[in-house]
Amino acid sequence: MNLAGWLKSIENFPSTLAIGRYNHIMAITRQIVADRIGSFLQNQLSLAELVDWAESAIMDEEFESDVVRDVVATLGVADMRAFGLTWEECQRILRDLGFAARVEIAATH
């Protein structure tokens, strides 16, 4: 294929700039936040990692709703409390998002 043919074939593809804009438009949803909290509760994500994610999200991202934004803001300051993020706080936050936490006990061996 010659250069003119190749240019013609890609003219309908979004530009890199447009792709970047589409990626930025994707809002943080209730599900994304619930998944992050779930990862934290399952020890797959540390409190510091959860707080770092929340702080970055508050500064750089869009949110599905005001409730989601408020929850992420709360997570962003969770490291300022003396004892971190409690189970009760996680339950309340998940309820605010329309989810419920469930505990499952499993053998480790």
What phi, psi does 26 have (nearest 5°)?
-60, 115
Q: Are residues 93 and 37 in contact, defined by beta-carbon separation less than 8 angstroms?
A: yes
Q: Between helices 87-96 and 30-41, what is the axis angle to 10°?
A: 160
Global pTM?
0.72
The yes-or-no verdict on residue 94 having pLDDT over 80 is yes
Q: Where does the pLDDT of residue 1 fall: very low under 50, low under 70, confident under 90, or very high at 90 and above?
A: low
